[in-house]
Amino acid sequence: MLADRGLARVGRSGMGSVAIVVIAVALFLCAGVAPAQQTGDVETAETMVEEALQPLMPPTAVTAVDTPNDRGSAISLTWEHSPDHESGTLLGYSVYRSDNPDTGFVFAGRVPYVQNHYRDSGIGNNEPTYYRVATVALDGREALSETFGPAEAFPQWFNGARVNVLIAVVVFVVAIIYFVNAAKSGKDLFIRRLAGLDEMDNAVGRATEMGKPILYITGLSTISDVATIAGINILGEVAKKTAEYNTKLIVPCADPIVMAVEQEVVKEAYAKAGRPDAYSEDDVFYLTRSQFAYVAGVNGITVRQRPATILYMGMFFAESLVLAETGASIGAIQIAGTDAVTQLPFFITSCDYTLIGEELYAASAYLSREPILLGGLKGQDTVKFIAGVFLIVAVVVATLAATGVIETNFMAPLFVTG
Amino acid sequence: MRRQIPLALCFIAGLFMAVQYFIPHPAVQNTYELLLGWLQTLLAFAFLLGTVSLIRMHFHKIRNRADDRAFSWVTLLGLLGMIGLGFIHPQHQLPGSPFNLMFLNVQVPIEATMFSLLAFYIASAAFRAFRARTLEATLLLIAACIVMLGRVPIGDLIHESIPAATQWILNVPNLAAKRGVMIGVGLGMMATALKIMLGIERAWMGGSD
């Protein structure tokens, strides 16, 4: 029982070929009866007969290997195109698989005739599998290749296509650890000034002087967003100051998990400042998950309580401008920090100071001035410098390759992951 | 122990999440998917926590006779009313059910109204941003005028090169700046994650000691 379905297809295509021959011969005979007007038909019929009688050639050099860098259950097949590839009579290639080299082949899939590879997924791991690839003609005929196999799918314990990422991570970790240790040993680390963070003290002081609250918003994202975590880190520092100055801090939350973490952070900060009694759980509360209901809630608080200072630190979406413009309308000092590139222009327009992108992540270290955190920041800057140099070299190499000065862009594979 | 256990859990979970990126084996990937499933379960319980926080805060406002307690009444009545409507009709998600009617005819239009305010805020923000008081603001004003004109048919009518100039501004200087910020953001994210994993950054659990 060789490729049941495949043979059936071949059988059907064989009958089709006979029919074509019969029609062609009939046309040929008719041409003899009325020779003058039938010349074109005769040529067509001859071509059809030639095509029908010409054997269809199967693909060659079929190979099947385990798909690399995956979780198993997949085998990758490649083959050389059939000699009929350029004839314009091919539909595609069908792939058949079996656990026996001689029998039981079942249809696995089909690819267009321009393609000479196929990924057979959904098969068992560590099971010997045999393959045959068939050339499929437009008229349905198929020509089967030799059997290839056995091939076995198995899962990998390491994705080799991500070695470049691993190297980058290792370099990053080493740089961070080195600078943290340097900071621990008392080395003086220079960190450039960030105007928005320098102004944080003044913003809190202003609220204290005016006897008005501070509104702190970490955005709509969840705790799995690093920008939210960065916002929470800054909240800890701000809460210490508000506790010291005895200023009311309002933190409306859009995510219940974020709320729970923020409650804990503010509570700890108040306890550290020696003012645990000043902390109220009602000041760090859940509003809603709905984007514009949240905006309505925060804007209501802004307009009614008229905070002297509003801090936006985290991930923001379309609500950013509505929040910031409402804050600007009541004359509050506003400091924003986000890594949402699309929202940055809105904050820059409406807020007094804006932390752009990575500055948000640096804020916690900058505010606390803890040497270990500053060391981490320095390590991050060093890696950024290395990455910048690397990118410049890559751009130069790519430009030289594109203009033909050098033969290949040898750096391109370094940026590809699987 | 109060600090060590969360730090250890954070390190183990963070390390696993980082390592799973490099290991495609089902033993690791299935665990990863299981943990993501747990996150969903955790989120469901967290919503309960959020609702309790909301009710408690507004209840306190009403009890303390705060000035803006009227809004607390509206919030609590809205919350309880919608929960009640959800229970009254067994299939509350079906069109025509009281819950669905309230959602479609009250909440959706209110949210759309809030969203539509954005257009007016963009106009007021643009007015402030485009005042040519400094060199940078002037450059911004010129770039914005070119981009706005290039996005509408009249730009092409004024001069055929305006749409091309728009594309150049968006694809070259604008995109270069965006990518610069994004590279910094990516590295900043990695550094923050690493600092939290290693216990260097502890502000999320209230501080370093």
pLDDT string in tens for chain A (418-residue length): 333 444 334 444 444 444 444 444 444 444 444 444 455 555 565 555 555 557 899 999 999 999 999 999 999 999 999 999 888 889 999 999 999 999 999 999 999 999 999 999 989 999 999 999 999 999 999 999 999 989 999 999 999 999 999 999 999 999 988 988 888 888 877 888 888 889 998 999 999 999 999 999 999 999 989 999 999 999 999 999 999 999 999 999 999 999 999 999 999 999 999 999 999 989 999 999 999 999 999 999 999 999 999 999 999 999 999 999 999 999 999 999 999 999 999 999 999 999 999 899 998 888 888 888 888 888 888 888 998 899 999 999 999 999 999 998 999 988 888 8
CA distance A381 to A394: 20
- From the list A224, A236, A357, the residue facing B184 with the nearest CB is A357
Nearest in space to A144 (alpha carbons), one of A118, A180, A105: A105
**Tokens of residue A120, six digits:** 């057979």
Q: How far is A133 from chain B (nearest CA, A)?
A: 29
ipTM of the predicted structure? Answer: 0.90
What predicted TM-score, i.e. pTM, was given to this entire model? 0.82
3-state helix, strand and coil shares in percent for chain B, rounded to the nearest 5: 80, 0, 20
User: Do the Cβ atoms of A326 and A351 come closer than 8 Å?
Assistant: no
Indicate yes or no: CB of B188 within 8 angstroms of CB of A233.
no
Nearest in space to A104 (alpha carbons), one of A227, A178, A4, A238: A4
User: What residue type is assigned to position A290 of the chain?
Assistant: S
Best of B3, B190, B197, B205 to substitute, by most chain A Cβ atoms within 10 angstroms, is B190
Q: Which residues of chain B have a CB within 8 Å of the CB of A292? A: 110-111, 114-115
Q: Order the strands of the A117-121 sheet from edge to edge.
A: A60-66, A74-80, A117-121
The distance in angstroms from the start CA to the end CA of chain A is 40
In chain B, where the domains are located? 1-88
- From the list B111, B121, B200, the residue facing A372 with the nearest CB is B200
Q: How many CB atoms lie within 10 A of CB A115?
A: 12
3-class state of residue B90 by DSSP: coil
Nearest in space to B189 (alpha carbons), one of A293, A169, A251: A169
Q: Which residues of chain A have a CB within 8 Å of the CB of B126? A: 349
* Residue B165 bridge partners (DSSP): none
